[in-house]
């Protein structure tokens, strides 16, 4: 494939004629696009995005961060597009298209940035450590812990980052199941399924749902029509795996951790921020990111308050005791309450990867390839079949990237079908261990307890849950079709 792409690039660059505009030059320069699907730019762009995606898939073995090839590919694609349009005196058409893709990414980036910043703040205040230690200290049996971690992550992932929640519950099952690899493997599979299912019935649950919400295909409340199908998707595999989970009770160590001052108020501020995002979208008809940025300002003011009051209390204590260790804590407190330090710890590789993927796929759409794919998928198949097939493909390709591609195709779908594609892309990633961020994260965290082959053994059961959730969706949401 790579050799053919290079040949096409080298030969077509000089020989292939440029397609004509469907109109006079002035009109074309202002309104229309060039069909570049059979031009060297099209072939070059396809090769670039495919090579970048293959490089991203082999990130673990090559140790090359996935954002690097994707950023390069997306940049080259748009440079090539603008070069051709410049030759036709229509630079503005291509630049406006790129700007539209950039604006879509910025809205997504700001939303995720605020969400991750709050999560980092809660992590620093030991909120998640306290939850983990509390669960471990309850002395639950393996089977009860299997269900508790699954149910908790199902609901938490509807509002919090799925990868973070998956890793949190993964740490819990690793602490509980040190002497039971079978329990750890089954619990991790359950966590992956629950995380992906829980993130599919809420617009805040993942990248793909955020895309659909921000594009206005579904309203905020519409997503909750998927709650029961998502519950079915989680419960069917969990109920079957339950009988394979060991019945005995693990040994526990007595542990304790206290949340830091202000932790509960940060949790409240995060809930307020989510409310502002919903209000911004539903009432003011502004991007949800506007509400999230307002919420970030609340966190900034609150951490400023914590920093000042903490320094004051520590200085008073230092004056009374003269203990040097307290002085060291005062020096470290400014970093602990520094919002920009928490922003700096975001998953930048993932965020930049999504920039490259969105902009690169946007370029393919502008060239004309996504219209071709749309005709093949939604023209030759029913929307239901197309959406189910796309959902199955999310076991191999990131669901956020696939959802952006579907949205770029502009298929004419009823609300029920938009709910269906949201469901299938969300839960389809559970079919394989590499199909979602929680799965990939747990593969690295579990140190061989949770493996690709171990997940694959339960593929038929997970696939049963996939199709059962689709059937339930058609049953209870028939009015939307």
- pLDDT confidence tier of residue 148, bands split at 50, 70 and 90: very high
Residue range 2-41, pLDDT digits in tens = 333 433 333 333 233 333 333 333 333 445 778 898 999 9
How many Cβ atoms are within 10 Å of 221's Cβ, its own excluded?
Answer: 10
Residue range 216-227, pLDDT digits in tens = 899 999 999 999
- Give the residue among 458, 356, 346, 349 at the shortest CA–CA distance from 401: 356
User: What pLDDT sits at residue 319?
Assistant: 54
Task: Report yes or no: 356 and 52 within 8 Å, Cβ to Cβ.
Answer: yes
Residue range 235-252, pLDDT digits in tens = 999 999 999 999 888 766
User: What pLDDT sits at residue 253?
Assistant: 61
User: What pLDDT sits at residue 321?
Assistant: 52
User: What pLDDT sits at residue 353?
Assistant: 83
CA distance 43 to 37: 7
Name the residue ranges covered by the structural domains of the chain: 1-15+33-89, 126-257+349-481
Task: Report yes or no: 267 and 122 within 8 Å, Cβ to Cβ.
Answer: yes
- pLDDT confidence tier of residue 265, bands split at 50, 70 and 90: very high
Of residues 194 and 169, the one with the higher pLDDT is: 194
- The separation between the first and the last C-alpha atoms of the chain, rounded to the nearest angstrom, is 40
């Amino acid at each position: 494939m790579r050799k053919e792409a290079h040949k096409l690039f080298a030969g077509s660059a000089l020989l292939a004629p440029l397609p004509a505009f469907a109109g006079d030059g002035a009109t074309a320069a202002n309104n229309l696009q060039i069909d570049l699907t059979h031009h060297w730019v099209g072939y070059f762009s396809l090769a670039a995005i495919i090579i970048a995606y293959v490089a991203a898939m082999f990130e673990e073995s090559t140790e090359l961060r996935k954002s690097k090839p994707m950023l390069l590919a997306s940049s080259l694609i748009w440079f090539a597009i603008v070069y051709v349009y410049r030759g036709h005196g229509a630079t503005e058409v291509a630049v406006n298209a790129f700007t539209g893709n950039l604006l879509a990414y910025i809205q997504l980036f700001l939303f995720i940035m605020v969400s991750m910043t709050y999560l980092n703040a809660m992590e620093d205040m030991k909120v998640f450590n306290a939850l983990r230690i509390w669960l471990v200290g309850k002395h639950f049996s393996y089977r009860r812990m299997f269900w508790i971690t699954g149910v908790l992550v199902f609901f938490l992932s509807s509002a919090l980052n799925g990868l973070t929640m998956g890793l949190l519950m993964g740490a819990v099952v690793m602490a509980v199941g040190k002497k039971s690899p079978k329990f750890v493997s089954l619990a991790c599979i359950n966590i992956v399924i629950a995380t992906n299912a829980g993130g599919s019935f809420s617009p805040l649950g993942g990248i793909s749902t955020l895309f659909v919400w921000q594009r206005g295909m579904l309203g905020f409340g519409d997503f909750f029509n998927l709650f029961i199908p998502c519950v079915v998707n989680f419960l069917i595999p969990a109920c079957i795996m339950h009988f394979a989970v060991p019945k005995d009770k693990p040994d526990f160590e007595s542990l304790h951790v206290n949340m830091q001052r202000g932790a509960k108020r940060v949790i409240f501020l995060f809930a307020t921020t989510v409310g502002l995002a919903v209000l911004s979208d539903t009432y003011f008809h502004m991007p949800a990111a506007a509400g999230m940025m307002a919420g970030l300002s609340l966190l900034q003011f609150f951490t400023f308050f914590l920093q000042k009051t903490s320094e004051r209390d520590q200085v008073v204590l230092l004056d009374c005791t003269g203990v040097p260790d307290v002085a060291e804590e005062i020096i470290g407190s400014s970093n602990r309450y520094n919002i920009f330090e928490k922003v700096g710890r975001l998953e930048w590789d993932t965020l930049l990867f999504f920039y490259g993927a969105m902009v690169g796929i946007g370029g393919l759409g502008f060239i004309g390839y996504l219209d071709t794919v749309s005709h093949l998928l939604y023209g030759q198949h029913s929307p239901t079949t197309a959406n189910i097939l796309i959902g199955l493909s999310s076991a191999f390709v990131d669901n956020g990237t696939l959802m952006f591609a579907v949205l770029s195709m502009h298929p004419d779908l009823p609300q029920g079908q938009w709910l269906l594609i949201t469901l299938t892309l969300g839960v389809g990633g559970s079919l394989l261990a590499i199909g979602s961020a929680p799965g990939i994260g747990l593969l690295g965290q579990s140190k061989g307890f949770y493996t690709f082959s171990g997940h694959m053994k339960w593929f038929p059961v997970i696939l049963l849950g996939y199709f059962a959730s689709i059937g339930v969706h058609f049953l209870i949401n028939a009015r939307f079709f």
